[in-house]
C-alpha cells in the first residue's frame, strides 16, 4: 500500500528532524556534543542488537567485517560526532540544512570514484548547493553563523554522502540490522573518550529520544517504507527532514534564518530534488 509507505517515510523524516532540536535540550542540561553522539550510538546499537537477536540476523560473514569496521568509524563515530558538533556550534536549523549538501557530494564522488557521468542536472545541483551554502554564510536572522558550525555542517554532509555510498555497496548484500548491531557499538566505543562522567538527570530523556526514536525507530520505519515505495519517491519525502528540523528549531529555540538564508536553504533542497529526481 503506497499510502502506508509514504506515512512510514514521513514519520522517519520527522524523527530524524528531532535529532538537532532535541540534542539542544541535552546541551542545555550540560552535555557536550560528542557525548550526545556517544549515547546516540550506544542506545541505537543496543536496540538494533536486540532486534537482530530476535530476528536471528546478528551474525555476518567474514567478508562483511571490513565494511562494518569502516561504517563504525566513518558512518557512526564520524558522522554522528560531526553532526552534533554542527548543532552545537551552528544550531539545529543550520545543521539540518547543511546535512543535505550530501547529494552534491555524492554526485562529485560518483563522478570521481565510480566513473558515473556528471550530467547537467547533477552539475546544476552542485552549483546550486554551493550558492545555497554561500547565501547561508551571509548571516542574519536568529541563527548563529559560527564558522565552526558551517565547517562541521558541511563535514556532516560529506560524511552523510559516504553513508549513501556505503549503503549502495553493502546494505543490499548484508542484513542492515546486523550491520547496525555491530557498527553502532563500535562507533560508541570510538566516541567513549569524549565522556566526562554520568549524564545529568535532565539529559536522559533527550538522549533516549535520540537513541530510540531518532535512530532505531527512524531507520526501521524508513526500511519499512522502502518495501512499499520506490527509493526515489522515498528520498523525495525524506527531504522534508530539514524543513521539519528548522520548524522544530524555530518553535523550541527561536532559530530562524535571514531572507538570504531561507533562499540558500531553498536552493540546497532544490538541488537535492534535482539529484534524486532521476
C-alpha cell, 59: 551474525
**Cα gap 242→20, rounded to integer Å:** 10
- Select from 157, 110, 165 the least CA-distant residue to 133: 157
CB atoms within 10 A of CB 117: 10
What does the alpha-carbon distance between residue 15 and residue 223 come to, in Å, rounded to a whole number? 14
Q: What is the pLDDT of residue 211?
A: 97
Grid coordinates given for 35: 557525548
Predicted confidence at residue 273, as pLDDT, reads 81
Classify residue 200 by its DSSP letter: P
Phi/psi of residue 36, each to 5°?
A: -65, -40
Single pTM value for the model: 0.90
pLDDT of residue 160: 86
If the chain, 278 residues long, is cut into consecutive pieces of 10 residues, what is the mean pLDDT of each piece? 81 95 97 98 97 93 90 93 96 90 80 76 85 78 76 92 74 85 96 96 97 95 80 73 90 88 88 75
Per-residue pLDDT at 232: 63
Closest listed residue to residue 132, CA positions, set 264, 258, 263, 269: 264
The predicted pLDDT at position 30 comes to: 96
- HSE on the CB side for 228, CA within 13 Å? 13
pLDDT of residue 1: 58
Task: Give residue 87's pLDDT.
Answer: 96
Domain count, the chain: 1
Instruction: Give me the pLDDT at residue 2, please.
Output: 62
For residue 110, what are the domain limits?
A: 2-276
Please report which residue ranges of 138-258 form alpha helices under DSSP H.
147-166, 176-191, 204-208, 218-226, 231-238, 240-253
The answer to whether residues 42 and 185 touch, using CB atoms and an 8 Å cutoff, is yes
* The pLDDT value given to residue 124: 86
Q: What is the per-residue pLDDT for 142?
A: 62
DSSP assignment, residue 203?
G
Amino acid at each position: 500500500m503506497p499510502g502506508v509507505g509514504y506515512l512510514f517515510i514521513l514519520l522517519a523524516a520527522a524523527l530524524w528532524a528531532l535529532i538537532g532540536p532535541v540534542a539542544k535540550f541535552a546541551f542545555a542540561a550540560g552535555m557536550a556534543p560528542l557525548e550526545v553522539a556517544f549515547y546516540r550510538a550506544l542506545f541505537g546499537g543496543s536496540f538494533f542488537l536486540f532486534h537482530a537477536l530476535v530476528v536471528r540476523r546478528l551474525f555476518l560473514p567474514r567478508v562483511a567485517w571490513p565494511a562494518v569496521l569502516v561504517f563504525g568509524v566513518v558512518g557512526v563515530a564520524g558522522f554522528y560526532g560531526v553532526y552534533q558538533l554542527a548543532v552545537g556550534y551552528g544550531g539545529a536549523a543550520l545543521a539540518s540544512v547543511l546535512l543535505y549538501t550530501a547529494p552534491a557530494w555524492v554526485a562529485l564522488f560518483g563522478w570521481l570514484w565510480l566513473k558515473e557521468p556528471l550530467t547537467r542536472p547533477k552539475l546544476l545541483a552542485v552549483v546550486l548547493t554551493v550558492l545555497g551554502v554561500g547565501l547561508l554564510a551571509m548571516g542574519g536572522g536568529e541563527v548563529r553563523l559560527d564558522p565552526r558550525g558551517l565547517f562541521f555542517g558541511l563535514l556532516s554532509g560529506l560524511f552523510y554522502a559516504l553513508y549513501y555510498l556505503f549503503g549502495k555497496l553493502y546494505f543490499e548484500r548484508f542484513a542492515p540490522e546486523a550491520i547496525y548491531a555491530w557498527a553502532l557499538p563500535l562507533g560508541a566505543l570510538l566516541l567513549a573518550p569524549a565522556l566526562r562522567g554520568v549524564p545529568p538527570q535532565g539529559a536522559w530523556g533527550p538522549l533516549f529520544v535520540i537513541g530510540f526514536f531518532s535512530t532505531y525507530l527512524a531507520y526501521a520505519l524508513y526500511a519499512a517504507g522502502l518495501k512499499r515505495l520506490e527509493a526515489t519517491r522515498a528520498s523525495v519525502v525524506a527531504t522534508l527532514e530539514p524543513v521539519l528540523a528548522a520548524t522544530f528549531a524555530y518553535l523550541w529555540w527561536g532559530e530562524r534564518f535571514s531572507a538570504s538564508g531561507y533562499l540558500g536553504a531553498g536552493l540546497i533542497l532544490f538541488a537535492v530534488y534535482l539529484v534524486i529526481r532521476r
